[in-house]
Amino acid sequence: MSDLERLARDLLQHLRRRHMRLAMAESCTGGLIAATLTEIAGSSDVVERGFVTYSNDAKADLLGVPQAVLARHGAVSEPVARAMAEGALKASPADLAVAVTGIAGPGGATPTKPVGLVHLAVTGRNTETRHERHVFAGDRKEVRRATVERAFQMIRDAAGQEPDDDD
């Protein structure tokens, strides 16, 4: 079992114990978060839906990210990651939503937005949206994998701990 599969299994169990369902809005990972979770049999009791919104039009059409925000900040930005997570939650009955947008490389970088830059956001019903900015090292595959790992941890943190948790 790979480390990523182990993390996915642990996350599914963590959410399952809390009776929580998850929606994903993915850009730079292209569905890898959803694919990693749904590779595990029985994940359908946690995984509610996923949106692969690679283009700006998809972000606007499917998640309600305002075109003005995309134009002002660019797709790889904190405001867009937050809007993606909030839009995925609004467009689903899930309890939590995670969003990722970034530059996995090898191209697409600018002087202010390097390869490896990823913005992640997680939100839940009646909770504030949490955001993180990372610049992950490595090639395209390594950046995408690091993004999935960090997204799993953010989801787990957003789901919270119970006093008797022994995770």
- Judged against a pLDDT cut of 80, whether residue 77 lies above it is answered with yes
Cα distances (angstroms) measured from residue 14 to each of 1, 46, 129, 146, 154: 18, 10, 20, 20, 12
Segments making up each domain of the chain, as ranges: 3-159
Q: How confident is the model at residue 164 (pLDDT cuts 50, 70, 90)?
A: low
Q: How confident is the model at residue 126 (pLDDT cuts 50, 70, 90)?
A: confident
**Which pLDDT score, from 0 to 100, does residue 163 have?**
47
- Judged against a pLDDT cut of 80, whether residue 1 lies above it is answered with no
By CB atoms closer than 10 A (0-12, 13-18, 19+), residue 18 is middle
> Over pLDDT 90: what percentage of the chain?
94
> What fold characterizes domain 3-159?
Maf protein (3.90.950)
- Prediction pTM value: 0.95
